[in-house]
Structure 1
Amino acid sequence: MNPDGFATDLARKPDVLSKLADSLAQHNPWSRVLPAEVSRVVFVGMGSSAYAGGVAAARLRARGIGAVSEIASSELLPVWGPGTLVVATSATGGSVETLDALDRIDPAATTVALTNTAGSVITQRCDATVELLAEPEVGGVACRSYQHTLAILMALECQLTGTPTDDLVTAIGTAARASDELLSTENDWRPEVSEHLLGQDETHLCAPAHRLSSAQQGALMFREGPRRSAIGCESGDWSHVDVYRTKNTDLRVLVFAGSKWEAQMAEWTGPRGTRVIGVGGTVPGATGTVRYSGDDIDDVRLLTETLIPELVAARDWQAAAAT
């Protein structure tokens, strides 16, 4: 991994995401690989792939479809028999835990590899393949591939629910433009955000449950690049399990807006003087806020908002590498 390559990968997000929107406007790739009947869905993957799978499974359940997301290293994978679709996600196509999980999947299930690497090992182990079209990530960090995983899994949701992809294509296009806006205005917002978020102790990134992957992915970017202590939290649960660190540390918090439990968080962060950055909406008690075009649309938020912590992490990583 290298910081300059990571920054380059982030800079290309708008262009590559726009190409994905164009591709999905032509056809939904899932229409060519799904069996005639899918009654249950299992997502397996590691890291960013697992984060995206967790949100995708929750979205499907909310639409009445039985779906779960399992970390590929689990020894307790579902055995659901015929009618089960298993989506094994690995951007590189070589995640050893995900390949191992395929050996333990119910042989009656249909398996589809979701990968950014054509011809990789995972494509040879599954019944069919859907490509992420995120293009090579020269920095070695899953940033565009994470974003594209979300978008492609949202296309799967469309296919399974008989929904046209028109609204999804529009959301992806809006996310591409929003990403371009955040990149072009970085010098206006990123220095202040970095000052508030990058303390000596740790950073919490919080998101509503239906976008929990944003908090998980954002925290991973702080750990993977500049090697900072960071935790991904669900906004409601934060007040039950993570709040304690506000009392005796220089905790910093980034909140992806959209949870009705943010006021409860502010009851703790406000009196204790915790620095809070709100993203994509008004967050109670925030000491700073980052907005962007389309941040009133939840799907656009999901596809865009991780760029804020990614850019903060990338610049911090570059600065550390230069010293």
Structure 2
Amino acid sequence: MKPDGFAADLYRKPEVLQRLASGLAAANPWDDVVPPNIERVVLLGMGSSAYAGGVAAARMRARGVVAASELASSPLLPDWGDATLVVATSASGGSAETLDALDRLPASAHTVALTNTPGSPITQRCDAVVDLAAETEVGGVACRSYQHTLALLLALECHLTRTGTERLASAVALAADASAYLLDTESDWRLEVSEPLLGPSGVYLAAPADRLCSAQQGALMLREGPRLPAVGCETGDWSHVDVYLTKTLDYRLLVFAGSKWEAQLAEWTGERGSTVIGVGGVVPGTQYNLRYPGDSDDVVRLLTEVLVPELMAARAWQAQRR
């Protein structure tokens, strides 16, 4: 993995995402690969792919689709018989656990590889392929491919609910614009966010349940690049699982805005003097709130907000080499 390459990959997000938006406006790639008799969906993946899959499956269920997201390493994969679509996601196309899971599936399942690497092993093991179209990530970190995984799983939701992709394509284009804004203004906001958050006890991130993957992926970027301790949590669940750390640590929290449970969180962090930074809205009890165009749109937030901890991670990683 390469810190300068990672930063360069982030700066290409708007350009590459805009191309994906144009593609989704023209056609839904799932229309060509999903059989007409599908009644159930299983999303498989590891790491970033699993984070995106967990939120995508929950969104599908909220629309009435029978969908599950499973770690590919799990021995407890659903056995739902005929009419089951399995989407195996691996940006590299070579994740050992995901390839192993494909060998353990019922023979009747229809499998589709969602990958950024044409001709990779996963494409040989599945019945069909959908290209992430995130282009080569020279830094070796799944950043654009994570963003494109979310967008394309939302496109799968459109296909399964017989909804056109026009609105999704528009939101993806707006996310590209929002990403461009954050990149263009990095010098205005990054130190305001990173200096308070990068403390001696690690960085903690919280996001609403329908965007939990943003906290998980943001934490992973801080661990994977600069090797900093970081943990992601759901905002409502925070008061049940992470609140305890505010009493004993120099606790520093990045909150992705939008949860109805932010006030409850703010009571604890305010009482215990924790550092809290908000992204994508005005979060109560924060020292600073970072806003960007389109941050009132849920899909734009989902596809954009993780760029904030990604840039924090990239710059911290580069600084370690100086």
Place the TM-score, normalised by the shorter chain, in its bin: over 0.9
Q: What amino acid maps onto 2:84 in structure 1?
A: T
Distance 2:20 2:292 in 1: 21
Is 2:63 the partner of 1:69?
A: no
Q: What amino acid maps onto 2:292 in structure 1?
A: Y
Equivalent position of 1:181 in the other structure: 181
Is 2:121 the partner of 1:87?
A: no
| C-alpha deviation, 1:25, in angstroms | 1.2
Distance 2:9 2:83 in 1: 38
| C-alpha deviation, 1:24, in angstroms | 1.1
Equivalent position of 1:202 in the other structure: 202
Distance 2:321 2:78 in 1: 44
Superposed counterparts of 1:1-323, under 5 Å: 1-322=1-322
Distance 2:64 2:158 in 1: 13
Distance 2:197 2:19 in 1: 32
Distance 2:68 2:284 in 1: 33
Distance 2:298 2:246 in 1: 29
| C-alpha deviation, 1:26, in angstroms | 1.4
Deviations 1:218-244 (A, max 9, x none): 000110011111001000000001111
Distance 1:289 1:187 in 2: 15
Distance 2:275 2:245 in 1: 13
Distance 2:103 2:219 in 1: 31
| C-alpha deviation, 1:15, in angstroms | 0.2
Q: What amino acid maps onto 2:312 in structure 1?
A: V
Q: What amino acid maps onto 1:118 in structure 2?
A: P
Counterpart secondary structure, 1:270: helix
| C-alpha deviation, 1:10, in angstroms | 0.2
| C-alpha deviation, 1:116, in angstroms | 0.1
| C-alpha deviation, 1:192, in angstroms | 1.2
Distance 2:252 2:175 in 1: 26
Counterpart secondary structure, 2:129: strand
Counterpart secondary structure, 1:146: helix
Runs of 4+ in 1 over 3 A off after TM superposition: none
Deviations 1:26-57 (A, max 9, x none): 11100000011111000000000000000110
Q: What amino acid maps onto 1:114 in structure 2?
A: L
Distance 1:31 1:152 in 2: 12
Counterpart secondary structure, 2:276: strand
Q: What amino acid maps onto 1:233 in structure 2?
A: C
Counterpart secondary structure, 2:93: coil
Q: What amino acid maps onto 2:220 in structure 1?
A: L
Distance 1:157 1:265 in 2: 32
Q: What amino acid maps onto 1:23 in structure 2?
A: G
Distance 1:179 1:62 in 2: 27
Q: What amino acid maps onto 2:56 in structure 1?
A: A
| C-alpha deviation, 1:108, in angstroms | 0.7
Distance 1:151 1:300 in 2: 10
TM-score, with normalisation over the residues of structure 1?
0.99
**Pairwise CA RMSD of aligned residues?**
0.5
| C-alpha deviation, 1:203, in angstroms | 1.2
Distance 2:26 2:123 in 1: 23
| C-alpha deviation, 1:258, in angstroms | 0.6
Counterpart secondary structure, 1:54: helix
Q: What amino acid maps onto 1:81 in structure 2?
A: G
Counterpart secondary structure, 2:321: helix
Q: What amino acid maps onto 1:182 in structure 2?
A: L
Distance 1:40 1:318 in 2: 44
| C-alpha deviation, 1:301, in angstroms | 0.1
Distance 1:265 1:38 in 2: 41
| C-alpha deviation, 1:196, in angstroms | 1.1
Task: Report % sequence identity.
Answer: 69
Deviations 1:154-187 (A, max 9, x none): 0000000011101100000000000000000000
TM-score, with normalisation over the residues of structure 2?
0.99
Q: What amino acid maps onto 2:89 in structure 1?
A: T
Distance 2:281 2:95 in 1: 36
Distance 1:193 1:40 in 2: 42
Counterpart secondary structure, 1:244: helix
Between 1:143-152 and 1:20-29, the stretch displaced more is 20-29
